[in-house]
Chains A and B, each alone.
Chain A
């Protein structure tokens, strides 16, 4: 009694292209974030507050701040990115959007890349824009401020990309926030070292093109490898839920 059916399978050409799908993911994340501007502001406030702690806690002397300024700003930026990572996949995981993302026919690592880029635009980029103001407050000299912003501009996307791996791995776990920091901080160290080292070299008048190129290489490496790891981690975390 089984009837004969002709199945109309969906052919690849009617499907949505990868670029379109990536753009949709990116736009949706931006849209959601802009509907809740307070969440965007929090990492920035955190950034400013951590920077304030150092003159208060260590020393407000110009000589100290000149020396330590680039490090302080980089550490504060790193921490505030770290703080925002927990939300990268959490809400999507809780409301089921992530399942639908994983089940899209486009390559998952590219969709993950789109999400990481959205995360950078929402957290890293504002930090870069705010950095000059804080740079002046910690008495960085003219040229150093520009170099600092440049290193942050190259470095913060790396933080978002690597962080996305940790966020994906710790998805759905208890105490995910602390665990996430534990996993990710060691991986952030090279970026931190080159970020601050470049600014310090610049303040001593040394050429920095080489270091910047190296940071660029980090970015390229993170762009090519991190999305694969994140995608694998997301599949694993969803499989477990």
Chain B
């Protein structure tokens, strides 16, 4: 058990596994996304309330979903960094934070554009959008702190503390933003929450969520490999790898 754990922590081992996984992640992910989005855009029936604008859901929900789970993953990795000092966990946080920020931004952007035909305005201080905005701030904080500390180990641990503090706060932020929202404007009608979504809608949605997850996996492997190359540049196996002419 402990052996497996140690192996998991070895950058060299991870590098190899990632290399074999990456083509699968990328191509299966792309296929799923194309299927989900194509189905959603062209074949899924119209929404009876919002018309065609709801078709944004097939990228809005995957982005929003992933944006939140990336932060959770970062928190788990942060805990691993602090408790077991596993290098790979920190590599993960560093590699993934910009991806999470981009996904959060996409969720915000698509949410805002969706709001225009639905509410007649680009931005409303809706509970979901506001929580997403705060999540984006949290991501920026993580990225900025990681960039500000030059020492690798200190940077890893400081970021881990910040991510954990953030993850404790996320439910509180969500709850308070929802409470604040009801205080100011009783919710008229919400994005995405439908009494019952027909299968022609949720199946493509599920496909694109899965697809984006896999593509995220590919991006993560790629970025983690880069980070590992930078950090382990002086070890023999990286030198051999570089000499062997990897790209």
A interface, CB within 8 angstroms of B: 162, 165, 169-170, 173-175, 179, 182-183, 185-187, 189-190, 193-194, 197, 200-201, 218, 225, 229, 232-233, 236-237, 239-240
Contacts and interface: CB of A to CB of B under 8 A. Distances in A.
A36 to B, nearest CB: 29
Interface string B134-154: 100110110011001101011
Contacts of A173: 148-149
A233 B144 contact: no
Tell which of B153, B157, B161, B162 has the most Cβ of chain A within 10 Å: B161
Tell which of B158, B173, B179 has the most Cβ of chain A within 10 Å: B158
Helix, strand, loop or mixed for chain B's interface? helix
B143 to A, nearest CB: 10
28 contacts: A162-B165, A165-B161, A165-B162, A179-B144, A179-B145, A182-B141, A186-B169, A187-B166, A189-B134, A189-B173, A189-B176, A190-B169, A190-B173, A190-B175, A190-B176, A193-B176, A193-B179, A194-B176, A194-B179, A197-B179, A225-B168, A229-B161, A229-B164, A232-B82, A237-B154, A239-B153, A239-B154, A240-B151
B47 to A, nearest CB: 32
Contact of A232 (B144, B161, B175): B161
Contacts of B157: 232, 236
Contacts of A218: 172
A165 B159 CA distance: 12
B43 interface: no
Nearest to A238: B154
Given A169-B161, A193-B177, A236-B161, A175 B154 contact: no
Interface of B: 82, 134, 137-138, 140-141, 144-145, 148-149, 151, 153-154, 157-158, 161-162, 164-166, 168-169, 172-173, 175-177, 179-180, 183
A219 B226 CA distance: 42
Contacts of A201: 183
Given A175-B148, A182-B144, A229-B164, A236 B176 contact: no
Top 8 A-B residue pairs of the complex, sorted by shortest distance between their CB atoms: A240-B154, A190-B176, A186-B137, A183-B141, A193-B176, A193-B180, A236-B157, A190-B172
A74 to B, nearest CB: 12
A133 to B, nearest CB: 27
Helix, strand, loop or mixed for chain A's interface? helix
Contacts of B180: 193, 197
A197 B175 CA distance: 13
Given A169-B162, A193-B180, A183 B173 contact: no
Contacts of B168: 225
Nearest to A190: B176
Contact of A165 (B165, B173, B179): B165
A240 B149 contact: yes
A128 to B, nearest CB: 21
Contacts of B148: 170, 173-175, 179
Contacts of B134: 186, 189
B137 A185 contact: yes
Contacts of B144: 179, 182-183
Nearest to A191: B176
Contacts of B141: 182-183, 186
Contacts of A236: 154, 157-158, 161
Given A190-B172, A240-B151, A183 B162 contact: yes
B179 A183 contact: no
Contacts of A190: 169, 172-173, 175-176
Contacts of B173: 186, 189-190
Contacts of B166: 186-187
A233 B156 CA distance: 11
Tell which of B82, B165, B177 has the most Cβ of chain A within 10 Å: B165
A232 B156 CA distance: 13
B149 A182 contact: no
A215 to B, nearest CB: 10
A239 B180 CA distance: 41
Contacts of B164: 229
A187 B165 contact: yes
A131 B50 CA distance: 47
Given A162-B165, A179-B144, A193-B180, 4 more contacts: A170-B145, A190-B173, A236-B157, A240-B149
A54 B37 CA distance: 48
